[in-house]
Amino acid sequence: MKNDKMSLVKAKVKAAGIHLGISLLIFLGILYVILFQWYPGPFFTAEGGWNGIMLMAAVDLVLGPTLTLIIFNHTKAKKEIVLDLSLIVVIQISAMIWGGLQVYSERPVALVMWEGTFYTVTEDYYQQQNITLKDIATYSDEKPLIIYAETDHSVAQLEEIQRLNQQKIPPYAQVHLYQSVKENMHKVFSQQVSGDLMSSNLSQEDKVGENLSQSYVFIGKAKYRNLLIYLDAKASLLEIKIRQ
């Protein structure tokens, strides 16, 4: 009896280990997408990319292997084992899809200047307004999109701002206020920050290699950190940095 229990434990641990190894490979692929596609550069830190990674890790590295460790029993018939593992895979994939959709919808897709500051905007704000990224892309060809927002203070527009505010959609995410940055360069450039602030956030490598000291720099705000946004004389995006 004791040997049977030890054999079962070893089989469970082996199965869970194999499951963990496969899950780890999948997680590394997801991690790559999060780091380089969904939250590139400083957005990973500024927008709380670790939160997304921890969510995906909990689903991929903990849930599946743990269920395998609990349920797997090598003494069952092969058909039962396949059924058990299939159910675990379905649960794990369903949870991963749900978690992935959450992380994906909260990724920053645009930087919108509102009242002199660039704000990161996530896709879920646009989904609430039934607007697609393809619609938003008409305002910018940058990645992330660089957009200017301004109100004309008309009664109709102010009422729409208030209506969307009640839905917890801030003005910088309200598409009816959007305009092209390149068509409002004089307004945008008038909001640049002082040269001292720009210089204090540049390394020597930046100054020599990218010549960011010759650019226009603006304050940006993300979920967890403030940013510095660098534009060239044509209002094209040069660089995004965490504000020190």
Segment holding 122, helix H or strand E: strand 117-122
User: pTM of the full predicted structure?
Assistant: 0.81
73/5 Cα distance (integer angstroms): 11
DSSP 67: H
Cα 20 → chain centroid: 25
Per-residue confidence band for 61, with pLDDT thresholds at 50, 70 and 90: confident
Band of pLDDT at residue 195, cut at 50, 70 and 90 = low
Say which range, 7-21, 167-181, 185-199, 216-230, has the weakest mean pLDDT.
185-199
Structure tokens at 165: 């505010």
Residue 57 has pLDDT above 50, yes or no: yes
Strands (DSSP E) contained in the chain are 108-114, 117-122, 145-149, 178-180, 216-221, 226-231, 237-242
Reference 227, options 213, 212, 211, 239; nearest CA is 239
Mean pLDDT over each residue of the chain, to the nearest integer: 87
The first and second tokens of residue 148, run together, are 């200017």
* Cα 220 to Cα 222: distance, rounded to the nearest angstrom: 7
How far apart, in whole angstroms, are the C-alpha atoms of residue 92 and residue 128?
28
- Extents of the domains making up the chain: 2-105, 108-242
Nearest CA among 237, 243, 241 for reference residue 197 = 243
Q: Which of 49-58, 175-184, 186-195, 221-230 has the lowest mean pLDDT?
A: 49-58
Using DSSP's 3-state secondary structure scheme, residue 165 falls into: helix
User: Residue 40: phi, psi to the nearest 5?
Assistant: -70, 155
pLDDT-wise least confident of 113-117, 191-195, 214-218, 231-235: 191-195
Q: What is the pLDDT of residues 129-162, one digit of tens each?
A: 999 999 999 999 998 999 999 999 999 999 999 9
Q: What's the confidence (pLDDT) of residue 152? A: 93
**CA separation for the pair 219, 215 (Å, rounded):** 13
149 within 8 A of 161, measured Cβ to Cβ: no
Higher pLDDT, 231 or 199: 231
What would the mean pLDDT of 55-83 be, rounded to a whole number? 87
* Mean pLDDT of the region 62-89: 89
Does 208 score more than 50 pLDDT? no
- Higher pLDDT among residues 104 and 177, named by residue: 177
Residue 204: predicted pLDDT: 44
Question: What is the crossing angle of helices 78-105 and 2-33, to 10°?
Answer: 30
Mean pLDDT computed over 172-190: 96
User: At residue 236, does pLDDT exceed 80?
Assistant: yes
Distance CA(136)–CA(141), nearest Å, equals 10
